[in-house]
A and B are shown apart, each in its own frame.
Chain A
Amino acid sequence: MSKRILLGTVAVLLVIASAYANFYIAPLERTMGALQKIFYFHAASAWAGMDAFFVCFICNLLYVWKRKPSYDWVAVSAAEVGLAFTTVVLITGPIWAKPAWGIYWTWDARLTSTFVLWLLYVSYLLLRSLIEEPDRRALLSSIFGIFAYLDVPLVYGSIRWWRTQHPQPVIMGGPGSGLEPTMAKVFFFSVLAMHVLMIFLIRERYLLEQTSSEVELLQREAEAT
């Protein structure tokens, strides 16, 4: 129990600290001003989300290979946490875009790819909710998860090479825009904070899934007799 509290406290403290750094330590950006500061949450969340989905992918492969239920529990936890972070990305994008460009959405390569990614993992969770038997659910959703993750580079490639032909407003500067040193430090601190938060959330969700699986098993045993 104490390990959980420790991790949780560290995660929360890091997030608060990075928010503080974000607002008070990072200098104001030349053109965007205070609005640009959303970038720290937006980009750090995107990074944490992608890493969570990567964890899900690895667990999917491990489950298909080893068939240990705990791999499946980590997979679903990582998928949900990844989805949460991705939702943050999809919300902060338009929040930035409206005052900056006057429009909520732009078919910017990264934002669009992120949206498809979001849809893929919503489908993953939806699939899981529609299969009752735990082993089947784990196996089938793992394979779908693998297909979905293999699709991600294809989605990104197709949108980047064929969808961003017209000059588009790019969310928070293109890949080439550099970060001034203090900003870079604050950014990497945000990334660290988001990742620790991600690990904490995945672990909590995993413990929840473990308990819920045990309850489900007891229920099914009771129904069987």
Chain B
Amino acid sequence: MSRLSNTTVLLGKELRTEFRSRELLTTSAVFILVVLIMFSFAINPTAEESRAFGPGLLWLAILFAASLMLQPCFLREQTNDTLSSLRLAVSDPFAIFLAKLIANTCFLLLTELLMLPLFAVFYNIPVLPQFPLLLLILFLGSLGVSTAGTALSAISAQARMRELLLPLLLLPILTPILVVSAIVTVKLLDRDPVVEWKGIGFLAVFDVVFLTALWLFGEYLLEE
């Protein structure tokens, strides 16, 4: 159970660091807001169009925000080589990844919840009636984004042009999340809501596949 306690301790560190500075949360929230507004300037949708396109645009904004928010994930550990001290201290390197991906999922989810009221207002889509299921979809989608994103952040931190590289690695990999989350959200928030359980299940499968892949290969990403 050492890995579990390591994960908890590291998660505490990640959360404490972020809530002290709130850099990631504020920049991601503002970014999503700006993107949502820009979209409506560019597209100028009718009410029906808003309902049809809004959720897709929200997910697109979430993905872009995530690829920015995930940049510092492993870069921060390079400043004072704290990645080495973590590697020396923990019994299982997967604990490092687990803590970071849980933290990233929390940050992403928090940002999305902050943006949800604004999204509802700008796109005229009531979100409260279906809130529990919407939360589930946001959670599963964000978990997938964070899992893949944390892994790829560890990779891009070791390459040049990392700010440009991470989105280029991450966005194609996250295509399934974008496709499914968008459609499931559209159907959920429709005038006659439909719950697409197959889609929700698919998101869960994505999460499991990438969590497993990260568990199997994560330690190699931290090797020197």
Chain A contacts to B: CB under 8 angstroms = 64, 116, 119-120, 123, 126-127, 130-132, 136, 139-140, 143-144, 146-148, 150-151, 154-155, 157-159, 161-163
Q: Which residues of B contact A151 (CB under 8 A)?
A: 172-173, 175-176
10 closest cross-chain pairs (CB), A and B: A158-B176, A119-B172, A130-B159, A154-B176, A158-B179, A130-B160, A162-B183, A120-B172, A131-B159, A140-B155
Cβ contact within 8 Å between A147 and B176:
no
Q: Is B175's CB under 8 angstroms from A116's CB?
A: yes
Kindly identify which residue among B159, B161, B202 contacts A157, using a CB–CB cutoff of 8 Å: B202
**B180 CB, min distance to chain A CBs, angstroms:** 5
CB of A130 within 8 A of CB of B161, answer yes
With a cutoff of 8 Å between Cβ atoms, the chain A residues found around residue B213 in the complex are 146-147, 150
Count chain B CB atoms within 10 A of each CB in A116, A131, A147, A157 and give the residue with the most: A147
Contact with A along B114-132 (1 / 0, CB 8 A): 0000000000000000000
Q: B155 and A162: CB pair below 8 A?
A: no
A120 to B173, Cβ gap below 8 A? yes
Partner of A116, one of B172, B199, B210: B172
Q: Which of B169-203 contact A (CB under 8 A)?
A: 169, 172-173, 175-176, 179-180, 183, 198-199, 202
Residue of A nearest to B187 (CB): A162
B223 at the A/B interface (Cβ < 8 Å)? Answer: yes
Give the docked Cα–Cα distance between A157 and B159 (Å).
31
In the complex, the chain A residue whose C-beta lies closest to that of B156 is: A127
Assuming the contacts A123-B169, A126-B165, A157-B176, asked whether A147 and B158 have C-beta atoms less than 8 A apart, the reply is: no
Query: Please, how many angstroms separate the alpha-carbon atoms of A183 and B156 in the complex?
Result: 47
Q: Does B217 contact A (CB under 8 A)?
A: yes
User: 12 A-B pairs, CB-CB below 8 angstroms?
Assistant: A119-B172, A127-B159, A130-B161, A143-B151, A143-B217, A146-B217, A151-B172, A158-B180, A158-B202, A159-B175, A162-B179, A163-B183
Do A148 and B173 touch (CB < 8 A)?
yes
- List residues of chain A with CB within 8 A of the CB of B110: none
Chain A residues near B159: list those with CB within 8 A: 127, 130-131, 140
Tally the A-B contacts, defined by beta carbons under 8 Å. Answer: 80
Verify B158–A136 contact, CB threshold 8 A: yes
B179 in complex: contacting residue of A127, A136, A163, CB < 8 Å: A163
User: Inside 8 A of A162's CB, which chain B residues have their CB?
Assistant: 179-180, 183, 199
Instruction: Determine if B113 is an interface residue (Cβ-Cβ < 8 Å).
Output: no
**B155 and A144 within 8 A (CB):** yes
Enumerate chain A residues within 8 angstroms of B209, measured Cβ to Cβ.
150, 154
> 10 new A-B pairs (CB below 8 Å) besides A64-B220, A130-B161, A143-B220?
A120-B173, A130-B160, A143-B151, A143-B155, A146-B213, A150-B213, A154-B205, A158-B202, A162-B180, A163-B183
B97 interfacial by beta-carbon distance below 8 Å = no
Question: Is B152 part of the binding interface, using a Cβ–Cβ cutoff of 8 Å?
Answer: yes
Q: Which residues of B contact A116 (CB under 8 A)?
A: 172, 175
Say yes or no: A123 contacts B172, CB within 8 Å. yes
A123 contacts across to B, CB distance below 8 A? 168-169, 172
Tell me if B74 is interfacial: C-beta within 8 Å of chain A.
Answer: no
Chain B, Cβ-Cβ closest to A165: B183
In whole angstroms, what is the CA distance A136 to B223 when docked?
9
